[in-house]
Amino acid sequence: MKIAFIGLGNMGGPMARNLATAGHEVTGFDTAGVSVDGVTMAASASEAVAGVEVAITMLPNGDILRRVADEIVPAMTADAVFLDCSTVDVASARKVGEQALAAGLSALDAPVSGGVGGAEAGTLTFMVGGDAAGFEKAKPLFDIMGKKAVHCGPSGNGQAAKICNNMILGITMIGTCEAFALADKLGLDRQAMFDVVSTSSGSSWSMNTYCPAPGVGPTSPADNDYTPGFAADLMLKDLRLAMQAAEEADADTPLGAAAADLYRRFVEEENGAGRDFSAMLPRFVDRGRG
């Protein structure tokens, strides 16, 4: 398949490389002027998408996505697929989807879960919104870049699924960290805490798979001084997107709002910038109720 890939950063670069390694003809573009093994670099985004069957974007935010869409949609061939894998606001995803459909393209918003490690290993999960025909055409590419792709409905629903999932993740990680900090102050051994909770009604992905306590449970960023697997900065971005969507949809999300405010303080006012989102644990350990 002839593919364009716009945005070749920490996530997009490995994804594009995996497609090229699988035998697809991949042309890439990134404003940083990077290079990726097996990918032919173009001078512009519009040049990269000329004549392709699928154009994939992996971009930092909705404003940049809209600007790139304005450039590449007119340059794409009718019936091609515009596949955006960025994590952006739902409104931008739906606006770009409408723009692509009006130009005769298939439009998919397909944010991912799995981080840089998943991008490199080809084990990402894709949450996909958009038309069914476009999803079927892109399915072989999802199978190369990831381990699972779920069609969540019309345009914007992929972003909706991502921000709802990550709102749950942010809330449960905070609860897990609070509980470990409380256990410490009650004299409960962390391993005993893990052994009970991980097999009881308090179990969660944050506890069982990504435990924020060093030396407890499977290896996680906590065992590497909280070097990011998923940065607190990115969790803050996703929680802000969730709160923006909640406001637009008139949804009551008090725990999501509280989680967003805690991560804002952690990243912007404390020492959370550049650390894993599970570094909330030492943050709580170092604090009392005041």
Catalytic machinery residues = 162
Strands (E), 143-201: 146-153
Q: What is the dihedral of CA 245, 246, 249, 252, to 10 degrees?
A: 170
Q: Which of 45, 6, 19, 48 is nearest to 142 (CA)?
A: 19
Residue 120: how many CB atoms within 10 A of its CB? 17
Residue 220 tokens read as 């996680």
Task: Calculate helix-pair angle for 157-185, 232-249, nearest 10 degrees.
Answer: 120
Tell me if residue 199 falls in helix, strand or coil: coil
Contacts of 265 (CB under 8 A, 6+ apart): none
Look up residue 77 and give its DSSP letter.
Answer: P
What are the helix (H) ranges across 186-253? 190-197, 205-208, 232-249
Phi, psi of 151 (to 5 degrees): -85, 115
**CA atoms of 28 and 17, how far apart (whole Å):** 10
Q: How far is CA 95 from CA 62, 132, 137, 177, 236, in A?
A: 10, 18, 22, 38, 23
Q: Which of 85, 115, 109 is nearest to 97 (CA)?
A: 109
Tell me if residue 146 falls in helix, strand or coil: strand
